[in-house]
Structure 1
């Protein structure tokens, strides 16, 4: 995963988070679907892993205590995660 570009890593994070959201909506109406729950948990762990890789390389993806910050505080550094192309 260390050879992946910043943009490709952000895209992968978005894909995995979208799959989590989709499964979350499905589980809202099918709470006893054990396979879907297992898939959701696997993807949630993958999303955490990918966000951790991104944040270690490029800085926080979110603010207000959802991501740890390094010294000096780098949340204000450009580009912001949603501005990177």
Structure 2
């Protein structure tokens, strides 16, 4: 499995964990342990997204990240396309 695919899979796992904990915290906002886990996963997620974007390009568009010149969003396979897994 390629480094790019591994990193995308880790990002997806962390996004799932953060989303799941977010929903849990909506119902149990005073749970310190859940909040600590949410913050831990979110910090890792931010770092992994930065690593991915530094190496492979933007994960999302519309103001969530800067781009190098020239604009390259349309030149690369988007993260959800099968071509993103090829090296």
TM-score (norm 2): 0.90
Cα distance in 1 for partners of 2:29, 2:73 equals 38
Aligned-partner SS, 2:78: coil
- Cα distance, 1:77 vs structure 2: 1.2
Give the Cα–Cα distance (whole angstroms) in 2 for the partners of residues 64 and 49 of structure 1: 20
Post-superposition CA distance 1:49-73 (Å, at most 9, x none): 0000000000100101111111111
Q: Normalised by the size of structure 1, how large is the TM-score?
A: 0.92
Q: Which has the higher contact order (CA 8 A, sep 6+)?
A: 2
- Deviation, structure 1 residue 78: 2.5
Structure richer in helix, relative to its length:
2
State the alpha-carbon separation in 1 of the partners of residues 49 and 70 from structure 2.
20
* Unaligned 5+ runs, structure 1: none
